[in-house]
């Protein structure tokens, strides 16, 4: 197996798009050797637990209304090209993602991490749900076969909060400045929402090297 570590945030639109492009490559190469693990990076590590108004957040982040409109116009076009439907008009608040990252970690312990991450992307970008809310996280967990009662009990405590913050900090210390960030085989770093074709080439290269080594 080839380890593929993905550093991302479930409210990052480029992470959503990047995953869709990677998925397309994986579907075209069903015998791929990637073993995927997701790692935390908060776009807004100082976001209050209750989040903030979406419009206010975007205008503050992108220097006014026009900057936000321009940025999300590009996102919408890229999402459409990736075969994704994004309901930006449904998103009322920009949430804190600390608890979502905790739940992603627990989903990994259950062997259902990628399915859970997919559910979070859908909840936020398609359904416009606030993924900082514990009930939303529980519902997503249940939808992928994770014990919702267990997730609810863990979320009601401070379990793994500090661990997520430390992992986020570690990624920044290692030079991660934006997401998605992919690390192939603990060595090769791939930044950004790369094309499906790029990933197909990477998979083919890994497969060829593996077959050559086996001869």
CB 35 within 8 A of CB 142: no
pLDDT of residue 215: 67
Contact 100, 111 (CB under 8 A): no
pLDDT band at residue 172 using 50, 70 and 90 as cut-offs = very high
Per-residue pLDDT tens digits for 61-93: 888 888 878 888 899 999 999 999 899 999 999
pTM, 2 dp: 0.96
pLDDT at residue 85, as a whole number: 87
Mean pLDDT of the region 182-192: 96
Residue 132 is part of which domain span? 2-214
pLDDT at 63: 86
Q: How far apart are CA 34 and CA 43, in angstroms?
A: 26
Share of the chain above pLDDT 90, in %: 88
Number of structural domains, the chain? Answer: 1
Residue 199 belongs to a domain with what CATH number? 3.40.30.10
* Percent of the chain whose predicted confidence (pLDDT) is above 70: 100
Question: Between the CA of residue 143 and those of 87, 109, 119, 146, what are the distances in Å?
Answer: 21, 16, 8, 7
Q: How far apart are CA 179 and CA 172, in angstroms?
A: 11
């Amino acid at each position: 197996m080839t380890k593929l570590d993905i550093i991302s945030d479930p409210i990052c639109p480029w992470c959503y798009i990047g995953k869709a492009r990677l998925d397309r490559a994986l579907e075209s190469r069903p015998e791929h050797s990637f073993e995927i693990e997701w790692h935390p990076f908060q776009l807004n590590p100082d976001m209050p637990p209750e989040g903030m108004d979406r419009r206010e957040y975007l205008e503050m982040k992108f220097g006014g209304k026009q900057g936000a409109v321009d940025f999300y116009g590009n996102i919408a076009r890229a999402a459409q090209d990736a075969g994704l439907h994004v309901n930006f008009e449904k998103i009322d608040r920009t949430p804190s993602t600390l608890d979502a990252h905790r739940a992603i970690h627990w989903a990994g312990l259950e062997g259902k991490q990628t399915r859970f991450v997919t559910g979070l992307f859908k909840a936020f970008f398609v359904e416009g749900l606030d993924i900082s809310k514990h009930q939303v996280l529980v519902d997503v967990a249940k939808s992928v076969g994770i014990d919702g009662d267990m997730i609810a009990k863990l979320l009601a405590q401070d379990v793994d909060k500090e661990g997520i913050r430390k992992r986020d900090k570690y990624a920044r210390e290692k030079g991660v400045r934006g997401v998605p960030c992919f690390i192939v085989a603990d060595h090769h770093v791939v930044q950004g929402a790369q094309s499906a074709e790029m990933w197909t080439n990477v998979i083919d290269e890994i497969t060829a090297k593996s077959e050559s080594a086996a001869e």
